[in-house]
């Protein structure tokens, strides 16, 4: 989970830098957009990996899912990550709504990461003897 949160923070910093450069009507470094996309893809892969580990681990330990709010929080975070990724590839001068959707989704994703982290702590405590 830590790597996904670090990726989110790197995306927030690089995205914020792109936003500031756009507001100042300055060009951004050529490497920044591919870096931002790659980091986003890594974060999406990490979130999917965490979902898989969580489902397999919970089924293996408890035999069923839904023992806490963590499953709902995780599914919402996964959905938000992929909504953010989809909206990112839609960003274009002819689709101004895509940037707003991307930014708004990422602000909600911050709350989702906090929620999934807090509920995850409860799940980890159940696994510990």
Tens digits of residue pLDDT in 31-62 = 999 999 999 999 999 999 999 998 998 888 77
Q: Inter-axis angle of helices 96-127 and 32-62, to 10 degrees?
A: 30
Structure token digits, residue 72: 């709902």
Proportion of the chain above pLDDT 70, given as a percent = 98
Count of structural domains within the chain:
1
* pLDDT score at 129: 63
What residue numbers bound the domain in which 12 lies?
Answer: 2-127
For the four alpha carbons of 101, 104, 110 and 111, in that order, the dihedral sign comes to negative
Mean of the per-residue pLDDT values for the chain? 93
Q: For the residues of 51-99, what is the DSSP string, one character each? A: HHHHHHHHHHHHSSS-SSTHHHHHHHHHHHHHHHHHHHHH-BTTBHHHH
Average pLDDT for 98-116: 97
Contact 51, 74 (CB under 8 A): yes
What global pTM score does this model have? 0.90
């Amino acid at each position: 989970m830590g790597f996904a949160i670090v990726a989110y923070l790197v995306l927030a910093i690089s995205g914020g830098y792109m936003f500031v450069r756009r507001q100042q009507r300055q060009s951004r470094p050529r490497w920044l957009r591919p870096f931002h996309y790659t980091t986003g893809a890594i974060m999406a892969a990490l979130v999917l990996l965490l979902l898989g580990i969580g489902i397999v681990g919970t089924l293996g330990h408890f035999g069923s899912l839904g023992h806490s709010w963590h499953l709902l929080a995780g599914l919402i975070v996964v959905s938000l990550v992929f909504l953010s990724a989809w909206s990112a590839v839609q960003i274009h001068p002819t689709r101004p709504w895509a940037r707003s959707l991307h930014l708004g989704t990422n602000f909600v994703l911050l709350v989702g990461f906090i929620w999934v982290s807090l509920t995850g702590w409860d799940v980890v405590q159940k696994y510990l003897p």
